[in-house]
């Protein structure tokens, strides 16, 4: 009984702490974001390194088209953006920023491939709510997290770690940024790396 009371009290403490976490979410997603509270910063072990050939993959996009990394070989640099989950605080204000920076990515001969382990209907609803994005949004839902696992960014709960990889036109990995799941990677970090390889 005592243990039950203590467990309930502890649960209450954590619930209140989670509810009071500071945020400034977009009005576009007001009332729709599931607050996960602070999570373990990273929970995966990278299987790729800078300088290696990026493992190829083919995933279905929200538009229904199948997209492969190799589609861009010899044509564009590719910024692969793994995000943990749709409808969560940090992820929901990461890709709209990349949407705004379309011209900057274009200037650096780069496309963005957004990848999440969510399913297509979820990603469709989520990206529609953010007014859509110009780049392909790919679902790594089934086999669950196969691409995230291949790159070594799959977390133990089936989501992906917040990771940015930059792949050049030859298909080589030029940059890997494994970021805390609780924070948004600064845009300038990505742009600076793109400018270096241009």
Partner 1 sequence: MRRTFTAGLGMLSLLLVLFAAPLGAQDSREEHLRALNSLSLYTPEGAGERHYLGLKNAPEKITLGQIDAEVLIVEIFSMYCPHCQRHAPDAEKLYRALDSREEFRNKIKMIGIGIGNSPYEVGLFREKYALSFPLFDDRSSTVVGSLSGIYTPHYFGLKMKDGSIREIFYSKSGAFPDAEAFLEMIVEESGIQRGGNS
Task: State both tokens at 63.
Answer: 């538009």
Q: Say if CB 187 and CB 108 are below 8 A apart.
A: no
Three-state secondary-structure class, residue 148: helix
Of the candidates 39, 23, 82, 37, which has an alpha carbon nearest to the alpha carbon of residue 57? 82
> In degrees rounded to 5, what are phi and psi of residue 31?
75, 0
Binding site for partner 1 (CB under 8 A): 2, 5-6, 9-10, 12-13, 16-17, 19-20, 22-28, 30, 93-94, 96-97, 99-101, 103-104, 130-131, 184, 186-188, 191
Measured CA to CA, the distance from residue 150 to residue 169 in angstroms comes to 20
> In degrees rounded to 5, what are phi and psi of residue 81?
-115, 100
Catalytic residue set? 91
Which DSSP string corresponds to 160-191? B-EEEEEE-TTSBEEEEEEE-TTSPPPHHHHH
Choice between 5 and 51, CB closer to partner 1: 5
Sign of dihedral through CA atoms 103, 105, 109, 113? negative
Measured CA to CA, the distance from residue 53 to residue 124 in angstroms comes to 30
Choice between 13 and 50, CB closer to partner 1: 13
């Amino acid at each position: 009984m005592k243990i039950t009371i203590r467990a309930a009290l502890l649960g209450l403490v954590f619930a209140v702490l989670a509810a009071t976490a500071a945020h400034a979410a977009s009005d576009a997603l007001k009332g729709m974001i599931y607050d996960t509270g602070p999570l373990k910063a990273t929970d995966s072990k990278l299987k790729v390194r800078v300088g290696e050939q990026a493992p190829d993959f083919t995933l279905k996009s929200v538009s229904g088209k199948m997209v492969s990394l190799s589609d861009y070989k010899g044509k564009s640099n590719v910024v692969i953006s793994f995000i943990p989950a749709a409808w969560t605080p940090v992820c929901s204000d990461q890709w709209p920023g990349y949407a705004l920076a379309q011209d900057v990515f274009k200037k650096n001969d780069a496309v963005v491939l957004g990848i999440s382990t969510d399913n297509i209907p979820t990603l469709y609803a989520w990206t529609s709510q953010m007014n859509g994005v110009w780049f392909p949004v790919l679902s790594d839902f089934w086999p669950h997290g196969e691409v995230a696992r291949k790159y070594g960014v799959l977390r133990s709960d089936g989501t992906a770690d917040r990771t940015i990889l930059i792949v050049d036109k030859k298909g080589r990995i030029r940059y890997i940024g494994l970021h805390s799941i609780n924070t948004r990677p600064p845009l300038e970090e990505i742009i600076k790396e793109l400018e270096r390889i241009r």
